[in-house]
Chains A and B, each alone.
Chain A
Amino acid sequence: MIMRFFRRGQRDEKLEQSLQKTRRGVFKQVIELFQRSEIDDEFFDDLEALLIGADIGAETTDQLIDELRAQIRAQGLREPAAAQELLRADMINLLKKAVRYRRVKILQRGVPYVILVVGVNGVGKTTTIAKLARYHQQQFNREVIIAAADTFRAAAIDQIQMWGERINVPVIAHQPGADPGAVAFDAMQAAHKRNADVLIIDTAGRLHTKDNLMQELGKIRRVVQKTVPDAPQEVLLVIDANTGQNGLAQAAAFAKMVEISDVALTKLDGTSKGGIAFSIVKALGVPISYIGTGEKMDDLTAFNEESFVDGLFFEEYEGEIPI
């Protein structure tokens, strides 16, 4: 059974709403920029400032601007308004083309679909897990189990258990300080025994530079593979949309250790722009799959390139928004 997590290709209301908040500040400048009368050096300078201000990074910004310059030259464009559509298309393309693979999510009867959730401290892993569990449960009526394998942070187990109670999902937990691998092992047993469809494993936040902690993730992965060889079918890296250029180093380190298959961009309900998504997709080819847009349990949505780019810059984009 091939499942599609979310309806894609459709503008998602929730994402739009959250990005509307995100637009604050940027949006006015974008309108002003593209309403100017000519494309000159100042235009490119200000465009660069906007892109860098959105955490898109120096390298990706240079690439986007170089491409735009070349296209403007080739087409003999004079008006910034025409450049707007070109930039938009370039940005969407960058997000789409750079994705090397989007793993097809396959759910088999009797085999738990294991989602290993990883990331640095404070990005919103636990909250994202609750939202993800709720999603599988509500949308597809799946049996979900959560493994509380963050045994390190004080009260992390309590936190995920509270979520479990709220959304009525069983949480497999050990004592604080227990071996996360052992928790994962028990959770796998429980998932088999209860015939659960989905097992989501919470892990402690860890800085990607801490080698021993990164090794521990590798161990959790191996434990899971003992009973289901192709598990974890999904390795989800959670990234805070406020993250600056270090986000790329994070993603690269986690990808190296546990082969991340998907990225969730969280906290996109603030003024964060999430521009690091471009660098991550470009450098690693890993797709952004989810967007976290708030603290409520339904605030999780599928990532859509068009909505994301439009939300970032082009709110009052004239004309049809392609569906």
Chain B
Amino acid sequence: MFESLSDRLQGVFQRIGNRGRLTEKDIDEAMREVRRALIEADVNLSVVKEFIAAVKERSLGAEVLKSLSPGQQVIKIVNEELVVLLGSEQVPLTRANQSPTIIMLVGLQGAGKTTHAAKLAVHLRKGGQTPLLVAADIYRPAAVNQLHALGKQIGLPVYDEGTTTTPPEIAEHGVRVARDKGNATVIIDTAGRLQINQELMQELVQIKERVKPHEILLVADAMTGQEAVNVAREFNEQVGLTGVIMTKMDGDARGGAALSIRRVTGVPIKFIGTGEKIDALEAYYPDRLASRILGMGDVLSLIEKAQSQFDENEAKALEKKVMTGKFDLEDFLSQLQQVRQMGPLNQLMDMIPGLGAAARKQDVQVNEDDLKQIEAIIRAMTPEERRNPQLVKGSRRKRIAKGSGREIHEVNSLLSQFRQMQKMMSAFGKGGLPGLGGKGRFPGLPF
């Protein structure tokens, strides 16, 4: 249903590909696609506008306009800026100097507070603690039972006083019990409430004043739309937040709400809920969320893979060789190896937007075994032969075929293909070969 941002950007950049260089107009067009992707990911519109302005400014800078692969550069900038907005480091939970550490969960109805109280408890138990759960939601039918059922399931204690005592009192008593029994952490589950319900918001303030929690975590649904910002802002202004748990991240919501909340309130995201199971709670990684919001994780990892594998200077030297027609089998071999280091070829093809599908459509088979055979044949040659393939005649062919375990005709066909490639390259060299040697390209490969 949703076309990914990377596919759309690819479309934009493909149209300009032949011209080689980006113009401001191209960047504008690309930014419109980014903007739309962010809106579809539920990033707040004001945050989107600010973000686009920042990305555009950087994209118009020299690093992109002069780059040989501007499209990927723009994608990279978008990702980097997103990570910056999402907060580049992991913010851990505060621990009290003197036990117990008091954690209070707040949020709208249905965000997943009760479930995440239990998940958080399980998470903390992994660190050797025995948290006490406190049932301070006296409003929703069976909320207390729910926490009890969860406590039983995970084998952790739950404190409650039914539904007749006020939540601030329950919280205070709960903390006292934890102190007496030596629980290192208390997790207070509060009722879901609207941020505009003054009476109930006041109740949260009262709980806060009574127990002085070390952490007040907003539990927010990843599927929330544009309103997420206002909800978070109100909870933060009225109660004061120390962190956010984004829940229901195991669905296909892009989770732009997290970005908006982080940007507008400055409150860090601390955890993400990733499933129904009671241990489905993960620490939050901004970079992963960035890719998810854009819906293009694969492209980014491909760019990174390519960058880590292709040494830029090496690529430049190679480019020169190609231009001057000096590309030999030795170079070809090193190219083959670099590409193969990046992972299975079919997987690589799939990571390139459009390419995987196009290859399948045209029934282009990139056979890993073929590459291995080519490599074997080249390896059976002497360095002299690799640099100068013309040397390979009758008896040398026989030797190479034997040495590589291939047939003579296979050696022949490799040599003739390589000659053709060389011819093509020198033709390119004369006309200039745009993009070759740039980051993330695959210079010199015959496919």
* Residues of chain A whose beta carbon lies under 8 Å from any beta carbon of chain B: 21, 24-25, 49, 52-55, 57-58, 120-124, 152-156, 158-159, 161-163, 166, 176, 207-210, 240, 242-250, 252, 267, 269-273, 275-276, 295
Contacts and interface: CB of A to CB of B under 8 A. Distances in A.
Contacts of B45: 49, 52-53
B92 to A, nearest CB: 27
A271 B140 contact: no
Given A54-B226, A120-B223, A154-B146, A246 B251 contact: yes
Given A210-B250, A272-B225, 14 more contacts: A55-B42, A55-B227, A120-B223, A121-B110, A153-B146, A154-B146, A155-B145, A158-B141, A158-B142, A159-B146, A207-B250, A269-B194, A271-B195, A273-B225
B274 to A, nearest CB: 11
7 closest A-B pairs by CB: A244-B225, A122-B110, A244-B42, A155-B146, A154-B149, A159-B142, A158-B142
Nearest to B38: A58
Given A121-B248, A153-B146, A244 B140 contact: no
A150 to B, nearest CB: 11
Contacts of B111: 122
Contacts of A49: 45
Contact of B254 (A24, A53, A124, A246): A246
Contacts of B112: 121-122
Nearest to A130: B141
A245 B141 contact: no
B1 interface: yes
Contacts of B257: 244
Contacts of B114: 154
Given A122-B111, A244-B257, A246-B254, A163 B141 contact: yes
B375 interface: no
Interface in B110-158: 110-112, 114-115, 139-143, 145-150, 153
Contacts of A124: 109-110
Interface in B381-423: none
B141 A162 contact: yes
Contacts of A152: 276
A33 to B, nearest CB: 15
B224 interface: yes
A270 B194 CA distance: 6
B253 A246 contact: yes
8 contacts: A55-B227, A154-B147, A155-B149, A156-B146, A159-B146, A207-B251, A242-B231, A244-B257
Contact of A52 (B145, B226, B228, B248): B226
Given A162-B141, A162-B142, A245-B42, A21 B251 contact: no
B196 interface: yes
A156 B145 CA distance: 9
B41 interface: yes
A243 B226 contact: no
Q: Which one of A124, A240, A269 has the greatest number of beta carbons of chain B within 10 Å?
A: A240
B196 A270 contact: yes
B40 A58 contact: yes
B171 to A, nearest CB: 20
Contact of A122 (B1, B40, B143, B221): B221
Contacts of A163: 141
A160 B437 CA distance: 65
B183 interface: no
B363 interface: no
B225 A276 contact: yes
B146 A207 contact: no
A246 B140 CA distance: 26
Given A159-B142, A208-B251, A270-B108, A247 B196 contact: no
B426 interface: no
A143 B391 CA distance: 95
Contact of A245 (B41, B109, B110, B251): B41
Contacts of B252: 208-209, 246, 249
A248 B196 CA distance: 27
A119 to B, nearest CB: 10
B256 interface: yes
A301 to B, nearest CB: 18
B201 to A, nearest CB: 12
Given A155-B149, A158-B146, A270-B194, A242 B227 contact: yes
A267 B109 contact: yes
A242 B221 contact: yes
B427 interface: no
B36 interface: yes
Contacts of B195: 270-271
A162 B41 CA distance: 38
| Of B40, B110, B115, B228, most A-chain CB atoms within 10 Å | B110
A122 B252 CA distance: 16
A300 to B, nearest CB: 15
A62 to B, nearest CB: 9
Contacts of B143: 155, 159
Nearest to B139: A295
Contacts of A24: 196
A246 B1 CA distance: 11
B230 interface: yes
